A and B are shown apart, each in its own frame.
Chain A
Amino acid sequence: MTMNPDELDRKIKEMRADEKRSEPGKDGPPPSGGRQAAAAGMEFISAVAVGGFLGYLIDQWLGTKPWGMVVLFILGSAAGFVNIYRSATGQDYRVGMGTLDKTKNKKTGEGSDSGKSA
């Protein structure tokens, strides 16, 4: 198969354009609702479990049974909701609300992250 240089140039340009166009969707198709819900459940439960376990350890250590577990279980639930919020808004479970503002600005600025938030 032979091709003259001009044609080759044109083809390369076409390919580059295609690549650029597909950039936002690089992360694959947006996850389906069920998958997203399952992921959110996992995020929530893991935070609650970690909170409860930490509370248990603190109770064992300081002998404050049952207060450590009660308080940390509630804090763990709060952390679980934070996790769900982050995964639902495409924050990728990042710690720190500072990142939220940053990525929001980036999103409106470039719009390249739009695939993630969908």
Chain B
Amino acid sequence: MASPLEQFEIRPLVPLSFGGMDISYTQSALWMTIAVITATLFLTLSMRNRSLVPGRWQNAAEMLYEFIAGMVRDNLGKEGQKYFPFVFSVFMIVLMGNLLGMVPYSFTYTSHIVVTASLALMVFLGATLIGILRHGLHFFSLFMPAGVPIFMAPLIVPIEIISYLSRPLSLSVRLFVNMMAGHTMLKVFAGFSVAMGIILGVMPLVLNIALIGLEVMIAFIQAYVFTVLTCVYLKDAIELH
């Protein structure tokens, strides 16, 4: 029987190499392309009619938009409105990755730490750059909390810097672990079904149905968590207490 981890194997579809580097178009890249196309088609086609009383599709698109718009408004305030396109794009690419991963025979690109770490680093470096551009060197006062006596600085500053640097790690690991663990679990229970035969195999199958529901919920929750933390990090850079 196939290993439950086999689903995470990267398979090149179009072998390419550039300057000795392997840049093959893999099934992971294929599903990222599908995610971008799906998200674009979903958002543009559902908003094509722009009716005052939204239909089902338009309602879904508007709900997503308002969900993120509200999150940006709550966290970043008026000044953060210009970061909305970025936050919404991050949300859609993570959500699409998680949800398309639930389609049978598909590939979950968010279950690879290289993908989530790239996303998290982009958010982290972006937020840091925005902070430095907005506040200049004053940005580094982030690492020296107000009201701390100066002789504590040699201890507090390294701790705050490590705490700051641990953000992209925990951000990427959280998403990757949730996705990988969930999909491994589904595969393990599906394997039980096969191994236990037709009659007893129904039990893991029933459990798997419940787990798929749970996984769809986790797909939404993790996309939400990733986006909320993106907002929080941007907020730190913008407001700088």
Contacts and interface: CB of A to CB of B under 8 A. Distances in A.
A82 B164 CA distance: 11
Contact of A75 (B159, B170, B174, B224): B159
B236 interface: yes
Contact of A78 (B159, B174, B241): B159
A96 B170 contact: no
B236 to A, nearest CB: 6
A95 B143 contact: yes
A69 interface: no
Provide the main secondary structure of the chain B interface: helix
Contacts of A78: 159
Contact of A43 (B145, B158, B166): B166
Given A50-B169, A92-B229, A98 B241 contact: yes
B74 interface: yes
Query: Which of the four size classes fits the interface of chain A?
Result: 20 to 34
In the complex, which of the residues A28, A96, A102 has the most CB atoms of chain B within 10 Å of its own CB atom? Answer: A96
A79 B163 CA distance: 5
A95 B229 CA distance: 13
Contact of B232 (A43, A75, A92): A92
Contacts of A51: 162
B147 interface: yes
A93 B158 CA distance: 16
B166 A98 contact: no
Contacts of B187: none
In the complex, which of the residues B70, B146, B147 has the most CB atoms of chain A within 10 Å of its own CB atom? Answer: B146
Given A54-B165, A79-B163, A94 B236 contact: yes
B241 A102 contact: yes
A68 B155 CA distance: 14
Contacts of B47: none
Contacts of B228: 27, 92
Interface in B48-83: 70, 74
Given A42-B174, A43-B170, A75-B159, A96 B145 contact: yes
| Interface pairs A-B: 7 shortest CB-CB | A46-B170, A79-B162, A97-B145, A98-B146, A46-B169, A47-B166, A79-B163
27 contacts: A42-B174, A43-B170, A46-B166, A46-B169, A46-B173, A47-B162, A47-B170, A72-B158, A76-B166, A78-B159, A79-B159, A80-B166, A82-B163, A83-B166, A92-B232, A93-B167, A94-B236, A95-B142, A95-B160, A95-B236, A96-B143, A96-B145, A96-B146, A97-B147, A98-B145, A98-B147, A98-B241
Interface of A: 26-28, 39, 42-43, 46-47, 49-51, 54, 72, 75-76, 78-80, 82-83, 92-99, 101-102
